[in-house]
């Protein structure tokens, strides 16, 4: 592996990289099937990813014709890494088992360990015989929509494919490793002005926020829309806030501390609600509190000069959903992609039907949407929100930070990259945007 890394660091050509032998094993962050009962009886918040995430040497799987082997320079933590590591809501081995029953190639994924991670930047080392658009030496980022394109259901919107999966969550060989094997239709060009760790970090959340907020498959945000964004300095929210500002909308950012409010302000948002300072209690003794929804609605109108949100960007779920449905404007859209605080949502349906609101479900993004979202990063119209970077050996700690909501924006992980700051090929573009690129660093 050292030889491959040295070659990458020395800008070796594609043919040179192709000529180097692949190692038999590689380093990877995994969870183990034998550990799935590790946290039995504990509350979610007591479960510790440091105990379940291992760093193992694992063998390289055989390469399918439509796949590529990528040397992973950097990856990042997503909340799905947290879910996998605490075995909630299900152990992800169930997904691997199902994939294993699908085909000969799927069978490779059904292993007693799961290599986790749904983001990566790196360099293509090998391509399968059916790959047309990529070659060894290409510098790439990887999106996590893992789709079987032989299925007719994949050919309208690939997120509607009957066997659509999230790479590194519902498939094996994820990005938190020194090597990964991915479908060629997961590859996208690495933004040349970013370091490896910066380039890796937007992947999953940037594409998700793009579909959820911007795409016609999500809320189709337009200029002037008021957008209420929960967790506006978090993984998804930090991109939703940028998309709103970039697209001429008016974000109302909800955060939980003055420090997070400051980050939103520095992105250019003006309307900010600190939910801790406001002390909202949407639930009390197991009951929803409509008076608290109203208090939030009043606060939003105070900030906007009387407007209700055209769009509510939802993901906290049970805790906030009743309030989100209530505060959306007449005819507005509540677009949801998650249920961090619980997936049994409760809301007053009178506020939905009588005022003609819509709830839209959204999940990751198709290749085209991911490509568009990546293109905005390449053009420096949207910036990474990387706050902290850990080495691969400390993936457990990195996931712990995200699980405990101790982080801002995105938490990165160095895989093969020996240090931060490498991989930039367009220093001029970087220099123009360096403050925005570093906005979340060390917060």
Ligand X SMILES: NC(=O)c1ccc[n+]([C@@H]2O[C@H](COP(=O)([O-])OP(=O)(O)OC[C@H]3O[C@@H](n4cnc5c(N)ncnc54)[C@H](OP(=O)(O)O)[C@@H]3O)[C@@H](O)[C@H]2O)c1
3-class secondary structure for 236-304? HHHHHHHHHHHCCCEEEEEECCHHHHHHHHHHCCCEEEEHHHHCCCCEECCEECHHHHHHHHHHHHHHH
CA-CA distance, 220 to 198, in Å (whole number)? 27
CB count, 10 Å around CB of 66?
Answer: 19
Of residues 53 and 236, the one with the C-beta less far from ligand X:
236
The least CB distance from residue 157 to ligand X, in Å, is 14
Q: Residue 63: phi, psi to the nearest 5?
A: -90, 125
The reply on whether position 260 binds ligand X by CB under 6 A is yes
Q: Is 64 helix (H, G, I), strand (E, B) or coil?
A: coil
CA-CA distance, 207 to 365, in Å (whole number)? 6
The least CB distance from residue 382 to ligand X, in Å, is 15
Of residues 179 and 263, the one with the C-beta less far from ligand X:
263
Interacting positions 263-292 with ligand X (CB under 6 A): 275
The reply on whether position 122 binds ligand X by CB under 6 A is no
* Count of residues engaged in binding ligand X, rule: CB under 6 A: 30
The reply on whether position 234 binds ligand X by CB under 6 A is yes
Contacts 24+ apart (CB under 8 A), 253-256: 253/229, 254/228, 254/229, 254/230, 255/231, 256/405
Tell which phi-psi region holds residue 257, choosing left (phi > 0), alpha (psi between -120 and 50) or beta.
beta
The reply on whether position 341 binds ligand X by CB under 6 A is yes
The reply on whether position 174 binds ligand X by CB under 6 A is no
Which residues lie below 8 Å from residue 421, measured CB to CB, with a gap of 6+? 195
With CB under 6 A as the contact rule, the residue among 142, 402, 415, 437 that binds ligand X is 402
The least CB distance from residue 166 to ligand X, in Å, is 7
Of residues 26 and 282, the one with the C-beta less far from ligand X:
282
The reply on whether position 337 binds ligand X by CB under 6 A is yes
Peptide bond into 89 cis (omega under 30): yes
Query: Which of the stretches 58-66, 326-334, 338-346, 350-358 binds ligand X when contact is defined by CB under 6 A?
Result: 338-346
With CB under 6 A as the contact rule, the residue among 85, 242, 288, 340 that binds ligand X is 340
The reply on whether position 170 binds ligand X by CB under 6 A is no
Q: Which residues bind ligand X (CB under 6 A)?
A: 78-80, 204-205, 208, 230-231, 233-237, 254-256, 260, 275, 315-316, 319-320, 337-338, 340-341, 363-364, 402, 405
């Amino acid at each position: 592996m050292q030889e491959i890394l040295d070659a990458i660091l020395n800008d070796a050509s594609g043919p040179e990289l192709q000529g180097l032998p692949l190692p038999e094993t590689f380093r990877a962050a995994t969870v183990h099937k034998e550990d799935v009962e590790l946290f039995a009886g504990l509350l979610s918040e007591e479960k510790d990813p440091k105990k379940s995430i291992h760093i193992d040497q694992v063998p390289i799987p055989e390469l399918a014709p439509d796949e590529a082997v990528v040397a992973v320079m950097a990856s990042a933590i997503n909340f799905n890494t947290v879910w996998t590591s605490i075995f909630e809501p299900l152990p992800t081995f169930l997904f691997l088992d199902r994939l294993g029953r699908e085909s000969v190639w799927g069978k490779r994924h059904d292993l007693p360990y799961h290599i986790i991670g749904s983001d990566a930047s790196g360099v293509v080392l090998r391509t399968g015989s059916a790959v047309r658009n990529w070659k060894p030496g290409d510098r790439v980022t990887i999106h996590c929509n893992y789709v079987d394109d032989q299925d007719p259901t994949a050919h309208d919107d690939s997120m509607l494919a009957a066997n659509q999966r999230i790479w590194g969550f519902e498939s094996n060989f994820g990005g938190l490793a020194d090597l990964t094997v991915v479908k060629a239709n997961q590859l996208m060009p690495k933004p040349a002005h970013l370091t490896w760790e910066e380039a890796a970090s937007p992947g999953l959340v940037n594409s998700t926020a793009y579909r959820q907020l911007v795409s016609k498959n999500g809320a189709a945000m337009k200029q002037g829309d008021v957008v209420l964004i929960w967790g506006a300095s978090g993984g998804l929210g930090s991109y939703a806030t940028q998309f709103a500002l970039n697209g001429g909308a008016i974000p109302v950012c909800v955060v939980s501390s003055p420090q997070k409010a400051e980050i939103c302000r520095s992105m250019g948002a003006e309307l900010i609600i600190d939910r801790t300072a406001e002390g909202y209690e949407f639930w009390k003794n197991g009951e929803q509190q409509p008076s608290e929804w109203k208090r939030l609605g009043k606060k939003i109108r105070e900030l906007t000069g009387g407007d209700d949100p055209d769009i509510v960007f939802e993901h906290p779920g049970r805790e906030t959903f009743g309030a989100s449905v209530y505060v959306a404007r007449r005819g507005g859209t509540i677009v949801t992609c998650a249920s961090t605080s619980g997936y049994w949502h409760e809301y007053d349906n009178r506020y939905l039907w009588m005022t003609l609101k819509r709830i839209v479900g959204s999940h990751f993004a198709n290749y085209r949407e991911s490509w568009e979202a990546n293109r905005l990063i390449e053009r420096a119209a949207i910036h990474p929100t990387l706050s902290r970077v850990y080495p691969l050996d400390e993936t457990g700690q990195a996931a712990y930070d995200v699980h405990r909501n101790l982080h801002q924006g995105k938490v990165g992980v160095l895989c093969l990259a020996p240090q931060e700051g490498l991989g930039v090929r367009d220093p001029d573009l970087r220099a123009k945007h360096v403050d925005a690129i570093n906005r979340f660093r060390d917060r």
